[in-house]
Structure 1
Amino acid sequence: MKLNTVIKGDALKELKKLPNASVQAVIADPPYFNVLEDEAWDTQWKTPEAYLAWCKRWVAECLRVLKDDGLCFIFGQLGKREHTFIHLMSQLCLQHAYHDLIIWDRAVGYNERRDSFTPQYEMILVLRKGEKVKFNKKSVRIPYDAETISAYLRDTRYKNMEARKAHLEEGKFATNILRIPSLKGLNKEKCGHPSQKPLALISKLISCSTDAGDVVLDPFLGSGTTAVAAEKEGRPWIGIECDATYAKIARQRLKTSRITLS
């Protein structure tokens, strides 16, 4: 099993080579099907049914290689009138165990529309394999500002103020709506992929679902965000990417990141 190396190849073929129950978390950001209409990889399926059948095959492989207490995160997005991801979520939840649905609030809208609300979110379907999962809730706490902490500490209803202060200083627990700005304009993270996800978002998913040393799998590595996030969090990773250009970008990005980390 190749760790910490970008694997150039087809996701489904490469997934079949991995051992059962060998990874702790899967971060999958696949083609969305006719959402990014200018990208050949997003429009390669002739029908929604063909896309759904393909997705069910690679998701089944991801669940096979997932450990019993692992989580599988699957990104999805709706187009202006394209809603195949809704059907995909429904079908996957009939075949596998549903765990959660995370809303990624991109903070800014995209694709302005005249006849409906401007979209501002993407979805992350979370599937589990077993009844119990590894979830580090404290790792994704959101800090309170000093003014908020001071205001809460003036509430006399709390008897043990030291314990209350310690809790407040750790921050509040994150909800399943994650507000993290998308990569816009001249953002220094951008490196040439049209659907690149923010490092902060992927880091949250990795840190909440794994411990140091746990293996993270990304079957659609793209520009390498999952790999960079995993290394920063101290997790080994497996990354599969079929496009030679994106695989090259991912390798260069990792090289730069490793220099920074050292």
Structure 2
Amino acid sequence: MKFNRIIQGDALAELKKLPASVAQAIIADPPYFNVLENEAWDTQWKTAADYLAWCDEWVAESMRVLRDDGLAFIFGQLGKREHTFLHLMSRLSQQHQFHDLIIWDRAVGYDERRDSFTPQYEMILVLRKSDDVKFNKDAVRIPYDAATIDLYLRDKRYKDKDARRAHLESGKFATNILRVPSLKGISKEKCGHPSQKPLNLIDKLIACSTNAGDLVIDPFLGSGTTAAAAKKLKRKWLGIEKDASYFKIAKRRLSAKAPITKRKSSIP
């Protein structure tokens, strides 16, 4: 099995070709179903039932290729057009073992609603195959600033000052609400995909669930963020992408030999 490569093809078909129990982590950012209404890949299903049935299949194959101690991260969001993810989370959690629900706080909302609060988050459903999973909380600690460390060291309840300082200098443990600003059009990281996730967010998912040398698989690679994060963190990776334009963008991004030509989205 070859690693560190992008397969151009259908996610479900290509996942079926892979051996069982090879991936330490699955990072999946699939179509959300009729959210990006001007993108053909997000509106290809006639009904929500069709979309959910498709998700059943590719998630089952993803769980098959996942190691027994691995984790699968599946992106989605809720809203008037995005409520299908609520049903998807319910049925997937009945078919597979639920591990966690992570909230991605995008830091900035997108103001498209007049009759409800401005949406500012997306969700990441985390599934597992067993109770014994690989998870490293220390890998995603959040640093304290010097002033905060100095303040907390004055707390007289802690007798072992050296141990307390070591803990504080390591940073606080991250919660399952991850605040990472979403990418804007002017971001240097933006590659032309309308739902591209920030590298810093994917870094955290890979860092907490894998070690150097482990394999990360992304069935919907898009512009290549998961592969870029895995490469940076010295993990093996394998990406699948059906769209020819995104496939080319990801290849160029990962080769780092030429500037990326941004693909124009049909989103106004």
What TM-score range do you get, normalising by the shorter chain? over 0.9
CA pair 82-229 structure 1, distance change in 2 beyond 3 A = closer
Q: Where does residue 117 of structure 1 map in the other structure?
A: 117
Q: Where does residue 55 of structure 1 map in the other structure?
A: 55
Aligned residue pairs total: 259
Distance 1:51 1:183 in 2: 27
1:257 CA displacement: 8.1
CA pair 242-92 structure 1, distance change in 2 beyond 3 A = same
Gaps of 5+ in 2: 260-268
- 1:174-220 deviations in Å (ceiling 9; x for gaps): 00000000001311000100000000000000000000000000000
AA matched with 1:202: I
1:52 CA displacement: 0.2
1:227 CA displacement: 0.2
Distance 2:153 2:6 in 1: 49
Q: Where does residue 41 of structure 1 map in the other structure?
A: 41
Q: CA RMSD in A?
A: 1.3
Distance 1:77 1:37 in 2: 15
**Contact 2:23–2:216 (CA<8 Å) still a contact in 1?**
yes
CA pair 25-161 structure 1, distance change in 2 beyond 3 A = same
Distance 1:35 1:197 in 2: 16
Distance 1:254 1:225 in 2: 9
Q: Where does residue 213 of structure 1 map in the other structure?
A: 213
1:82 CA displacement: 3.5
**Contact 1:35–1:79 (CA<8 Å) still a contact in 2?**
no
Gaps of 5+ in 1: none
Q: Where does residue 141 of structure 2 map in the other structure?
A: 141
**Contact 1:68–1:129 (CA<8 Å) still a contact in 2?**
yes
Q: Where does residue 6 of structure 2 map in the other structure?
A: 6
1:86 has 2:86 as partner: yes
1:189 has 2:189 as partner: yes
AA matched with 1:165: R
Distance 1:93 1:80 in 2: 22
Runs of 4+ in 1 over 6 A off after TM superposition: none
1:258 CA displacement: 11
1:113 CA displacement: 1.3
AA matched with 1:59: V
AA matched with 1:251: K
CA pair 245-81 structure 1, distance change in 2 beyond 3 A = closer
AA matched with 2:248: K
CA pair 104-257 structure 1, distance change in 2 beyond 3 A = farther
1:112 CA displacement: 2.7
Match of 2:256, SS state, is helix
1:81 CA displacement: 3.9
Distance 1:182 1:123 in 2: 13
Distance 1:53 1:188 in 2: 37
Distance 1:228 1:193 in 2: 15
1:120 CA displacement: 0.3
Match of 1:113, SS state, is coil
Distance 1:62 1:77 in 2: 20
Distance 1:219 1:119 in 2: 26
What percent of counterpart residues are identical?
75
> What TM-score do you get using the length of structure 2 for normalisation?
0.95
